[in-house]
Structure 1
Amino acid sequence: MITSIDFSVLTPLLLLAGSSVLVMMLIAIKFSHRSIQITSLLLFVISFSSIFYVHNLIPHYIEPLFVIDNFSLFIMGLIIFSGLVVNMISYVYFEEKEESPKEYYVLLFLCTLGACVLATSKHFISLFLGLEILTVGLYALIAYLRGRQHNIEAGIKYLVLAAFSSAFLLFGIALIYFQTGTMDFSTLAVALKPFKSLPLLFHTGLGLMLVGIGFKLAVVPFHMWTADVYQGAPSPVTAFIATASKGAVFAVLVRFFIAIDGFRYQTVMFVMISIAIASMIVGNLLALQQKNVKRILAYSSIAHLGYLLVAFIPGTAMSLQAVSFYLTAYFITSLAAFGVITVLSNTEKDAESINNFKALFWDHPVLACIFSTALLSLAGIPLTAGFVGKFYMLSAGIQSGFWALALVLVLSSIFGLYYYLRIITAMFSGEQSIAPQDKKAHPVFYLISSIVLSVLTLMIVWFGIYPSGLMQLIEQLQIGH
């Protein structure tokens, strides 16, 4: 039976769902793009603020689908914050385009809702429901600009491969349900207790599930779609995919493995270790060959998911802390990086070639410094949040004796320095920028976007120099079953 407190703890999800309906109503009565964008911004702020209200009511279980604990609230906060930033940088991007941008904000709310449902899931039904709300919205967002050369292609590729991955995921869930008779994460652990090793059907089902989840995370060997979708999607959408979409899936993966104590099964861990090593090596090597900035960031994201797996695989309390800190650092850094690309893009095409950033410092020194800071954080240079995040992940891996993973992380990060520094070098060399310049939106909105990106940059540096405040918050995180 649903109680009033159930509705209270679901406030962020209800607000996101209601916001999408409200924006649809505003579109129906023909509000302007600017009015809808500002309304959406206020609704995102309200949704984010509701996280603090719910904090006093946790932990709370809404059987059998959801658990609202401080870990799910933390991830929801990151996801809604990402949606808020993407909303703020989207106006200058879509105001210049020929397509009506109003429905974009409805889809953004629905994708954020799906990601938050994933973050609170403790049951296969809510997991699949959240995943499909997120994925179906992304189909439309990726192909939103129909007139662009790569957009429809990217949308169709994502549609086809996402459908295949969902089929793998569903078949895996079906096999696990057939073996155990339950779809609740915590009950699965009880059903597995009589077995000394994983039963064959459960083993097969878990393998199929990892294929489906591996596609959503874009880890090797399920990474084929990443570069084309990152390049083809509108830049704000790419920022959302890189942060909220992947963060939500990784959060539910963490909750699932902790609930079933999957870390004690050697075969499963061997597969995860192989995926982590392959992702770190292949992601960095593929990024070395690229001249398109969005494709570089796409392949580097594969490597970063490999880094996250280094912290995840030990399955200790420190693993949860390292994963949470690195997700925070990666969210902030990716939003800043793709935000710069968004601001510099024009009506015809995105600013995605390295040549678009040549001598950027002499024309837009603030944007050049913001992008440089983001790239240095992705590379793991000291005094940035990315460095502290990698340090915690290395500590989590080494503390549990995973020296090989730690060594691959360090060596692959060295390769990553090259392609990040190549972009930075281009921004500070030459005499004249050839970045797209024609702008249609009001200059005030470019100023607002630049302020947002500057705040993100300050957060990158602040968490890199003084990470203790964030770590104190993260140390309190616990996962309820």
Structure 2
Amino acid sequence: MMTSNDFFALTPLLLLAGSSVLIMLLIAIKLSHRSIQISSLLLFLISFSSLFAIQKILPYRIEPLLVIDDFSVFIMGLIIFSSLVVNIISYIYFEEKEESPKEYYVLLFLCTLGACVLATSQHFASLFLGLEILTVGLYALIAYFRGRHHNIEAGIKYLILAAFSSAFLLFGMALIYFQTGTLEFSAIARSLSTHTSLPPLFLTGFGLMLVGIGFKLAVVPFHMWTADVYQGAPTPVTAFIATASKGGVFAVLIRFFIAIDGFRYQTVMFVFISIAIASMIIGNLLALQQKNVKRILAYSSIAHLGYLLVAFIPGGSMSIQSISFYLAAYFVTTLCAFGVITVLSNKEKDLENINNFKALFWDHPVLACIFSAALLSLAGIPLTAGFIGKFYILATGIQSGFWALTLILVISSVFGLYYYLRIITTMFSGQQNTSPQKSLAHPVFYLISSVVLCVLTLLIIWFGVYPSGLMQLIEHFQIR
């Protein structure tokens, strides 16, 4: 039986679930898009505020499914913050489109709920439940514009591949359950403690699970869907997939590995090292060939997940700190980049071809500077959050003796400089007005979106110049 403390600890999740129902009721009474968007914004703010209220009872376990600790609250904060930003930039994107955007906000709440459940999972049942809530909502969000060829194509690709990956994940869980007799992370750890090496059945099950997890993270060789989905999905949805969706999955992967002490198994670590190297190299090389900005950012995200794996592989407290900081920097930077694309997109199509950004500085100087800051952060240039994030990852890898991994990270980052700087030079070159003009039908909402992008840019610079504030918050994180 659940206690009052259980309900209090679950406040953020309950608020997200209740918000989706409330928005459905508001749609039923035929409120306008603007009213529903503002209501959703307030509900996201309330959900985000509830994370501060539950701090006093941390850590708190809701046996056997969930654990609410500092790390899970931090990841939930990043996820809800991402959804909050996506909510704000979605209004100007969907207002002039052909589809009714109201149900979009219901799906956004459900996807956020699924990602937050993943961040708090300590059991395979809650892991799969959170993953399916997230994924099923994304099916609809990716293909939200039913009349557009690229959206339908992206939605079908994601649907088919996600179904296959879920089947691999479930089969892997079944084999692990057959071997250990439990689905709880800590109980699996106790079962494995009696073995000097991983049993073949467990290793097979984890290998199958890795296919499902690798698909959600879009790491090589499970990355084939990424560019098509990033390009075909509505831009705010792409921003959500690149941040909140991957953050929740990465959080549960860390928690599972720390629970079973998977870092001591050389076979498993060799697989992760191979995936990290392949993701860093292939992600950056594929991005070099692209002329579509959303596809460039898609392949860039593959490389960034490889960077995160470099911090993940050593294990230990320093890994948790560097991963937490890099996730925060990556979330803010990616939201800023896709936010600029969203604001510049028009009714007919998204502004995504690199040629559309030619002379952008002369038409929209503020947006060009904001986009440049985001791209420089993704490239890891000093005085940005991305540079400090890569510095912590390099420090973690070097301290643990993974010199080859850190060397590949540095070399692949140099390749990444080319395609980021190519976009920046395009924005500052020429003096002709070649970028599409955006209708200013709702100037107040454009102003609000621009203010949000300015705040994200300030965070990028703040974390890059003064990282100790964020590090003081995350340096005591312990995954329990």
Q: Same fold (TM over 0.5)?
A: yes
1:170 and 1:6 mapped to 2: Cα distance? 28
Q: Which residue of 2 aligns with 1:382?
A: 382
1:356 and 1:51 mapped to 2: Cα distance? 41
The answer to whether the 8 Å contact 2:72/2:119 transfers is yes
1:338 and 1:252 mapped to 2: Cα distance? 25
Q: Which residue of 2 aligns with 1:280?
A: 280
1:388 and 1:454 mapped to 2: Cα distance? 20
Q: Which residue of 2 aligns with 1:226?
A: 226
Unaligned 5+ runs, structure 1: none
Q: Which residue of 1 aligns with 2:81?
A: 81
- Is 2:421 the counterpart of 1:421? yes
1:51-450 → structure 2 map (5 Å cutoff): 51-439=51-439, 441-450=441-450
1:77 and 1:3 mapped to 2: Cα distance? 24
Per-residue deviation, 1:435:
2.1
Q: What letter matches 1:73 in structure 2?
A: V
1:344 and 1:290 mapped to 2: Cα distance? 20
Q: What letter matches 2:135 in structure 1?
A: T
2:108 and 2:439 mapped to 1: Cα distance? 24
SS at match of 1:67: strand
SS at match of 2:321: helix
The alignment yields a C-alpha RMSD, in angstroms, of 0.6
1:375 and 1:63 mapped to 2: Cα distance? 43
CA displacement 1:100-145 (0-9 Å, x = unmatched): 0000000000000000000000000000000000000000000001
Q: What letter matches 1:404 in structure 2?
A: A
- Is 2:476 the counterpart of 1:455? no
CA displacement 1:377-434 (0-9 Å, x = unmatched): 0000000000000000000000000000000000000000000000000000011232
The answer to whether the 8 Å contact 1:357/1:433 transfers is no
Q: Which residue of 2 aligns with 1:12?
A: 12
The answer to whether the 8 Å contact 1:143/1:233 transfers is yes
2:223 and 2:439 mapped to 1: Cα distance? 34
Q: What letter matches 1:371 in structure 2?
A: F
The answer to whether the 8 Å contact 2:344/2:438 transfers is no
SS at match of 2:149: coil
1:126 and 1:437 mapped to 2: Cα distance? 46
Per-residue deviation, 1:465:
0.2
The answer to whether the 8 Å contact 2:293/2:353 transfers is yes
Per-residue deviation, 1:462:
0.3
SS at match of 1:61: strand
Q: Number of matched residues?
A: 480
SS at match of 2:224: coil
1:81 and 1:161 mapped to 2: Cα distance? 28
1:175 and 1:433 mapped to 2: Cα distance? 60
The answer to whether the 8 Å contact 1:96/1:440 transfers is no
SS at match of 2:426: helix
Percentage of identical aligned residues: 82
Deviation larger for 163-172 or 426-435: 426-435
SS at match of 1:216: helix
The answer to whether the 8 Å contact 1:281/1:412 transfers is yes
1:205 and 1:311 mapped to 2: Cα distance? 24
SS at match of 1:182: coil
2:266 and 2:468 mapped to 1: Cα distance? 34
Per-residue deviation, 1:440:
5.7
CA displacement 1:416-470 (0-9 Å, x = unmatched): 0000000000000011232221426411111110000000000000000000010
Per-residue deviation, 1:96:
1.1
SS at match of 1:169: helix
SS at match of 2:67: strand
2:370 and 2:432 mapped to 1: Cα distance? 19
CA displacement 1:89-108 (0-9 Å, x = unmatched): 00000001010000000000
1:257 and 1:478 mapped to 2: Cα distance? 13
Query: Do the aligned partners of residues 441 and 119 (structure 1) sit closer, same or farther apart at CA in structure 2, a change above 3 Å counting?
Result: farther
The answer to whether the 8 Å contact 2:440/2:446 transfers is no
Unaligned 5+ runs, structure 2: none
SS at match of 1:219: coil
1:318 and 1:160 mapped to 2: Cα distance? 38
CA displacement 1:333-381 (0-9 Å, x = unmatched): 0000000000000111000001111110111011000000000000000
SS at match of 1:150: helix
| Off by >4 Å, runs of 4+ in structure 1 | none
The answer to whether the 8 Å contact 2:124/2:173 transfers is yes
Q: What letter matches 1:230 in structure 2?
A: Y
Per-residue deviation, 1:194:
1.0
The answer to whether the 8 Å contact 1:356/1:433 transfers is no
| TM-score for the superposition, normalised by structure 2 | 0.99
The answer to whether the 8 Å contact 1:95/1:441 transfers is no
SS at match of 2:478: coil
Deviation larger for 89-98 or 434-443: 434-443
Q: What letter matches 1:220 in structure 2?
A: V
The answer to whether the 8 Å contact 1:41/1:87 transfers is yes
1:393 and 1:148 mapped to 2: Cα distance? 40
The answer to whether the 8 Å contact 1:96/1:439 transfers is no
CA displacement 1:266-306 (0-9 Å, x = unmatched): 00000000000000000000000000000000000000000
- Is 2:469 the counterpart of 1:469? yes
2:55 and 2:425 mapped to 1: Cα distance? 44
CA displacement 1:2-29 (0-9 Å, x = unmatched): 0000000100000000000000000000
